[in-house]
Amino acid sequence: MIDHIAQLREKIESAIIQDKSTLESFRRDFISKKGSIACLFEAFKQLPTEAKKAIGPALNGLKSQAEKKFKSAASALEAATKPSTQPPVDVTLPAFGTPMGSLHPLTIVQNKIISIFQRIGFNLAEGPEIVGDWHNFTALNFPENHPARDMQDTFFLQRDPDQLLRTHTTSVQISTCAAQSPPIRSIAVGRVFRNEAISTRSHCFFHQVDGFYIHTDVTFSDLKGTIYHFVESMFGQETKLRFRASYFPFTELSAEVDINCRLCQGKGCTVCKYSGWVEILGAGMIDPNVLTNCHIDPEQYSGFAFGMGIERIAMLLYQIDDLRLFSENHLAFLRQFTAC
Ligand code: DAH
């Protein structure tokens, strides 16, 4: 009988109950009064007392194993056939979107500027953020007592006061000229640092693009053509622009370029200081002293250069009136650029 019990145990264990009819077969085979377990109980009655003592617990165990399996299968089947209390799933609904990251607006604008100049033959150059006085000032023809050299404007390194955080990307012009010989058509982008109070219009670090072209017979009209091309590509053909005479130590003749204010359409606002015009870049013909400092003969070669703040361009392009937004990393601000 013990063998018979063991066989039934296995059968019960491996029985698969998946619907009402298999449940009914299970009940009939094992649980019902004519089922195999009931038959075993009938045979059990005939056994001598000693054998009953030995086999009784195994037989009772078999009975409860079968009943347990039957009960849990019956309630699982009942639950499956009951109408669900959950709302029905509508498989035609659109899926939840995966939130997309975005490029930072300054990266977007920087990439646009780079591609505008690369399309007309400028090569991208890189330079370090920590430079010596030579690259940032002296080679660029800054007089010894120029105010920009002052501690007020420039962050000098404490461990080596001849080293400083570059105040403009014009410093890359010097390292590029030292590494190449004309003709050179180059742009550099990057972060620059100045000891300025943080406000809606200024920051202690910001980003610039500097470009220059050195070749035989480069003239101011080459510079104008390049700047017109840039302004049209960046802001559209209808944009008005003007050149104003200016001064930079490293250019002679020097100019600043303004475009009509896109925030107020020329009516006057805080960004254009109620003038209707906004300065976007500085430019000029490279001073012969700078060429000499870079071992380029100014008798043989001439060049133009220009430089601009990327934040300023981004503010005009996207109508942003507070420079601080670019470095504060508010997600609500940054998320607006996902589609750009
Ligand atoms: N370095 C100047 C600045 O930071 C901008 C500039 C002006 C760059 C004229 C140039 C240039 O290359 O020719 O304000």
pLDDT in tens, 86-114: 888 888 988 888 877 889 999 999 999 99
pLDDT at 83 over 80: no
Q: Of 247, 126, 130, 277, give the one whose Cα is nearest residue 192.
A: 130
Q: Tell me the CA–centroid distance for residue 245 and ligand 1, in Å.
A: 13
Radius of gyration of the chain (CA): 41
Q: Tell me the CA–centroid distance for residue 208 and ligand 1, in Å.
A: 9
pLDDT at 151 over 80: no
Please indicate whether residue 96 or residue 216 has the higher confidence score (pLDDT): 216
Atom of ligand 1 nearest to the CA of 308: 5
Which of 22-26, 81-85, 215-219, 312-316: highest mean pLDDT? 215-219
Under DSSP, is residue 2 helix (H, G, I), strand (E, B) or coil? helix
Buried b (16+ CB within 10 A) or exposed e, 233-254: bbbeeeeebeeeeeebbbbebb
Would you say 284 and 252 are in contact if contact means Cβ atoms under 8 Å apart? yes
What is the band of 84 on the pLDDT scale with cuts at 50, 70, 90? confident
Q: Which H or E run includes 9?
A: helix 2-14
pTM of the predicted model over 0.85: no
- Residue closest via CA to ligand 1's atom 5 equals 307
The mean pLDDT value of the chain amounts to 92
* Residue 126 confidence (pLDDT): 92
∠ CA 78-83-86, rounded to 5°: 120
Q: What is the pLDDT of residues 256-299, one digit of tens each?
A: 999 998 878 888 887 788 999 999 999 999 999 999 999 999 99
